Structure 1
Amino acid sequence: MGGTVCVVLIRHGLTSYNKEKRYLGHTNLSLLEKERSRLDSLKSWCEKMKLDQLYSSDLNRCIETSSLLFPDQNPVLMSSLREYDFGDWEGKQYRDLADLPHYQNWIANPRTITPPNGECFQDFKNRIEQGFNQLLNDASRNKHSTVVCVTHGGVIRYLLSEYAPNLMPFNEWTADIGKAYKLTGDIVDVRRGQRFSLLQVVPSVVKTNG
């Protein structure tokens, strides 16, 4: 046994694309100013946390969320924790793409079909694993017991599909705006490829399908 570690995955706050239900990957939007107060309930929960290290995607919406929730922390910024790159479909709504056969094929087979000028799922998976392994290695080396990662819906869904104790495929997981997903397990076991032993979801007041 190598000691217990808690990894808290937090999805960023609301952007205009989220609100309008547009695909948002590497487009570097900021949070909606008038929606920032919706993170207050999650912030209250975060203030009670004894945090060893904060990580964040290097995109603005995650950096700003990190600053709102943990104003006294300097996050480690990681491009490997960015959202999936939707390529030419960035900023599009479902109605803009619904009649495209390529899009419908991607909806049915996201692991094998790639958006035009976008990211293939294997590349998405590989870079997330690289970033998450760095986080776990840091936690082991520095004997961190609680680390937080502010990232994106697709990243969280992938990590939950691979590491949560609940065995569900990627497309069955949800990762809601502003929610926290707390994974707890033995650091040695997790680094060896085993799953975390416990998942807790901390709700926020934000309700959106974006």
Structure 2
Amino acid sequence: MSPTNIILIRHGETAWNAERRLQGHIDIALNDEGLRQAGALAEALDGEHLDLIVSSDLQRAAQTADALARIRAMPVQRDPLLRERCFGGFEGLLYAEIEQRFPLEFAAWQAREIDAAMPSGARVAETFRQFYQRAVAAIVAWGRAHPGRTLALVAHGGVLECAYRAALGLSLETPRDFPVLNASINRFRVLDGKLSLVSWGEVGHLQPRVLDELN
């Protein structure tokens, strides 16, 4: 069976990203910078062949995928299994507010206790292990369903982290010492139900355009 090429993309910036407010399943749109990033991403991938574009159903990912699809006149499929981790009662709070309101749960989160439960809010939170299993299974399922094809999957920072850990066989307990950047291009392959990493963190397309003084 031929490997599936996966271009895994994190959504563009949101206002909550910029102020370090935890989003999770709260449905936040891109800000102006995020829309610019999505457009730059679409232009950067314009010369590459894509067989399918899939995004999380949260609008920050959907808007990023739609920019990619628009210049190709391609449809986008939505998959809620590509959503960010659900953080329960942490969602909508600044990191500093989480630490103040939920000191024990915040400490467990920062210590990477992968089965630690967060307080429920509007939704029941996922443990990191539950989220990892959900996210990796979703990526692998798309790969299995389209062998030999090239897929763009537009998701969230946590989903990218899970894919990176799965591809490199990293323990879930280890600190995240690798960047997970808005509107970054990250390349994987799926073969025999396993992820492998091709390249990580391409962001050259996001640099501000250098204009000639006569422009």
Structure 1 length as normaliser, TM-score? Answer: 0.84
- What does residue 133 of structure 1 align with? 140
**Structure 1 residue 191 displacement after superposition:** 2.2
Matches within 5 A, 1:155-170: 155-164=159-168, 168-169=170-171
State the alpha-carbon separation in 1 of the partners of residues 197 and 27 from structure 2.
34
Q: How many residues align?
A: 196
Distance in 2, matches of 1:5 and 1:149, equals 12
- Among candidates 180, 184, 187, match of residue 175 of structure 1: 180
CA RMSD of aligned residues (A): 2.2
User: What is the distance in 1 between the residues matched to 2:144 and 2:129?
Assistant: 22
CA contact (8 A) 2:144 2:193 kept: no
Q: 1:198 to 1:122 in 2, by over 3 A?
A: same
Partner of 2:95: 94
Measure the CA separation in 2 of the matches of 1:113 and 1:134.
27
Shift >4 Å, 4+ stretches? 167-170
- The 5 Å alignment of 1:96-115 reads 96-99=97-100, 100-115=103-118
User: 1:129 and 1:34, CA in 2 relative to 1: closer, same or farther beyond 3 A?
Assistant: closer
- 3-state SS, counterpart of residue 198 of structure 1: strand
Question: In structure 2, how many angstroms separate the alpha carbons of the residues matched to 1:110 and 1:69?
Answer: 36
Percent identical among aligned pairs is: 22
Structure 2: distance between partners of 1:197 and 1:79: 23
Q: Where does the alignment leave 5 or more consecutive residues of structure 2 unmatched?
A: 209-215
The CA distance in 1 between the partners of 2:167 and 2:126, in whole Å, is 22
- SS of the residue corresponding to residue 78 of structure 2 reads strand
CA distance in 2, matches of 1:132, 1:197: 13
Match for residue 153 of structure 2?
A: 149
What is the rounded CA distance, in whole Å, between the counterparts of 1:139 and 1:37 in structure 2?
A: 30
- C-alpha separation in 2, matches of 1:153 and 1:98: 21
Q: Where in structure 1 are there 5+ consecutive unaligned residues? A: none
- 1:128-152 per-position Cα deviation (integer Å, ceiling 9, x unaligned): 1331232012112xx41x1110000
Q: TM-score, normalised by structure 2?
A: 0.82
Distance 1:80 1:21, change over 3 A: same
Contact 1:9–1:150 (Cα < 8 Å) also in 2 = yes
Q: Matched residue of 2:196: which SS?
A: coil
Q: In the aligned structure 2, how far is the partner of 1:55 from the partner of 1:17?
A: 23
